[in-house]
A and B are shown apart, each in its own frame.
Chain A
Amino acid sequence: MSKVANLKRSAARGLPKAPTGIQGLDEVTDGGLPRGRPTLICGGAGCGKTLMSIEFLVRGATEYGEPGVLMVFEETADELAKNVRSLGFDLQELIEKKKLIIDFVRVERNEIEETGDYDLEGLFVRLNHAIDSIGARRVALDTIETLFSGLSNEAILRAELRRLFRWLKDKGVTAVITGERGEGSLTRHGLEEYVSDCVILLDHRIIDQISTRRLRVVKYRGSVHGTNEYPFLIDENGINILPITSMGLQHEVSNERVPTGVPRLDAMLGGKGYYRGSTVLISGTAGSGKTSLAAHFIDAACERGERCLYFAYEESPNQISRNMRSIGIDLDRWVKKGLLRFHATRSTLYGLEMHLVTAYKLIREFKPDFVVLDPIGNLTLAGSESDTTSMLTRLMDFLKTHKITALWTNLTSGDEQEKTDVGISSLVDTWLLLRGIELDGERNRALYVLKSRGMAHSNQIREFLLTDHGIELTDIYLGPEGVLTGSARQAQEAKESAEALAREQEIAARRRELERKRRALEARITAMRKEFEADEEEAKRIIVESQKREDVFSHDKQKMAANRHADTKPTSGKLRDR
């Protein structure tokens, strides 16, 4: 009953912790190492335990105002200084500022004869002196197990180590003790028996010739901690650990739409382009223009002043720049302006986790708005398919939480167009599919929008042309003879226009013929009218003449009658009426 109450109280109060300052470790350990207690860091040779213990001290001294004592049992002063200088730690400076003391303990068995009883008080004295002289709050012992090879009386050593760890606790310093991994146990000499508060295991694994460093918190008494294996990276800034827990699906979404850089593609995507912070996948067969399309997205983004980070797993930055120049896109100018950064690595150079760690690190550093992974399928060379899927999912979650748009390209093989080899197709928001259409002995590119969440997108296939001034999308030929692209489309178009021309010419000819006929008809009408007029004229003339003749005749007749003295008149009237 009281035990439960105790537990509850301690959970509520929380264990006091000393933040390590090591990137990611504090997240995994929920705040740092147990304050005032020893922590065991164990692992095989070259796993990074020395570095981790040194970084713990350096960060403590520089970031948390806690001076530290480093007791080194294996390396010499010069070796150590050189090794950590390459990681950006200047130990000498810290020593001069009295923030760090390094004590090199050398125990050589061939120089030492043992006789009778002894203890390790000398070590205690040295440690105590070092701690007190700078007021140290942190201590690292690297690697104390070396004592077992220098001194032969194991019973004494064990008793003394037990005493040492208790002493460290009493002293109230936060201590890190490193230990070499043993067979079947965490450390060669079973140090984990004495240091039971917190045990961290480092691992340097090589699978398929690719090495990955991993960290696991084996035990952390009285505290919650991440139980997974977390990959980590040692670079010029020290250790980077990635707490890759899936971040869930709580990220906020943006309603902002962003143009792609290809106007007709924007038109296909509901007229406005993709959503900011979404994941765009361009998949397609080899040589279908995935990288070129990606370059358009980048060019457009940089044009808007956005920062782009390009992970190239296949081509070198120079090669990409050169190739994109051939389609009229100058990526170099964005690199010079600092808006675009390439990160080119062979996917097989290191493990997936390392790729992820590197990506996280670069994204944190560069703070891009737009991230390109080209191509994602290549990552399967560095890990299994399911590992790749999980890595990409985590990366996608990470990008989405930071509202970074992701553009991934993926190579598909001929018969599996609508499937990605890493099975993330269902996770992406906008999926553009590029495919080759083979027809009449040539291959042409076509693009369509396979899906695009949250927008009315076109269902049309567009022909995708790579010109010296970029990508052009044109309508493909759809007619009685099916879908035609490339020169077949052009031929069909030419054929159609020829046919149209012929039809036009025929119509024109008919019109001319009709016109001619009409003119001929009119000419005939005119001629007939002329003839008729002529006839009419003639007839009138004849009538007039004959009247004249009549008049003359009747005049003559009267004359004759007068001559004959005819007394009858009326006859002349009758004659006149006619």
Chain B
Amino acid sequence: MNTETEKEINSEKWELRLYTAGQTPKSLTAFANLKRLCEEHLKGRYSIEVIDLTRNPQLAAGDQIVAIPTLVRKLPEPLRRIVGDLRDTERTLVGLQLRPAKLDR
């Protein structure tokens, strides 16, 4: 049972979106933090899409983006939003709901 759930989680595809507005230091920090975190916890089963709202402003309303940078977990459901440059790894993990999984191990 436990191994099956773990497998399921492990086999899940993660679809992440990072909304930015231009190449600001905050955005760059956020992307770097996210990349590191994903490599560590979701290696091989994640995709990151960076959306620059200065180029595609019409996309902001769809995901209810107010703050920049915002990380949106599209998959797995439910949708989660994490706002900020992701400097606090613990909180980011909680936000992505990866934290409980880590505790299980």
Contacts and interface: CB of A to CB of B under 8 A. Distances in A.
Interface of A: 103-107, 111-126, 128-129, 147, 150-151
Contacts of B53: 121-122, 125
Contacts of B82: 112-115
Contacts of A118: 26, 67-70, 83-85
B60 A113 contact: no
Given A111-B79, A118-B26, A129-B58, A105 B64 contact: yes
Contact of A113 (B54, B85, B92): B92
Contacts of A119: 26, 67-68
B80 interface: yes
Contacts of A107: 64, 66
B88 interface: yes
Nearest to A147: B66
A113 B57 contact: no
Contact of A120 (B67, B80, B84): B67
Interface string B60-92: 110011111110000000011111111110011
B27 to A, nearest CB: 9
A233 B91 CA distance: 50
B21 interface: yes
Contact of B95 (A104, A115, A117, A122): A115
Nearest to B81: A112
Given A122-B19, A122-B53, A129-B57, A115 B83 contact: yes
B87 A117 contact: yes
Given A122-B21, A125-B57, 15 more contacts: A113-B80, A115-B84, A115-B88, A116-B84, A116-B88, A117-B84, A117-B85, A118-B26, A120-B67, A122-B60, A122-B70, A123-B66, A126-B60, A129-B57, A151-B83
Contacts of A114: 82-84, 91
B9 interface: no
A122 B94 contact: no
Q: Lowest 6 A-B CB distances belong to which pairs?
A: A113-B95, A129-B57, A116-B84, A116-B87, A116-B85, A122-B65
A128 B66 CA distance: 13
A121 B33 CA distance: 20
Contacts of B69: 118
Contact of B21 (A105, A106, A125, A150): A125
Contacts of A151: 66-67, 83
A6 to B, nearest CB: 39
Main secondary structure on A side of the interface with B: mixed
Nearest to A129: B57
A204 to B, nearest CB: 30
A128 B57 contact: yes
A343 B29 CA distance: 68
Contacts of B60: 122, 125-126, 129
A111 B80 contact: yes
Nearest to A112: B81
Contacts of A111: 79-81
A115 B94 CA distance: 10
A319 B99 CA distance: 75
A120 B68 contact: yes
Nearest to B52: A125
Nearest to A106: B64
A377 to B, nearest CB: 57
Contacts of A121: 21, 53, 67-68
A128 B21 CA distance: 13
Nearest to B33: A116
Contacts of B26: 116-119
Given A113-B95, A116-B86, A122 B80 contact: no
A128 B70 CA distance: 18
A125 B54 contact: yes
A121 B67 CA distance: 6
A115 B86 contact: yes
Interface in B1-51: 19, 21, 26, 29-30, 33
Contacts of A123: 66-67
A120 B26 CA distance: 12
A121 B30 CA distance: 15
A77 to B, nearest CB: 12
Contacts of A128: 57
A399 to B, nearest CB: 52
B96 to A, nearest CB: 8
A163 to B, nearest CB: 13
B91 A122 contact: no
Contacts of B92: 113, 115
Nearest to B64: A106
A123 B83 CA distance: 13
Nearest to A124: B21
A521 to B, nearest CB: 131
Given A115-B95, A117-B87, A126 B80 contact: no
A120 B65 CA distance: 9
B50 to A, nearest CB: 14
15 contacts: A104-B61, A111-B79, A113-B82, A114-B83, A115-B87, A116-B29, A116-B33, A118-B84, A120-B68, A122-B60, A122-B65, A122-B68, A124-B21, A125-B21, A125-B68
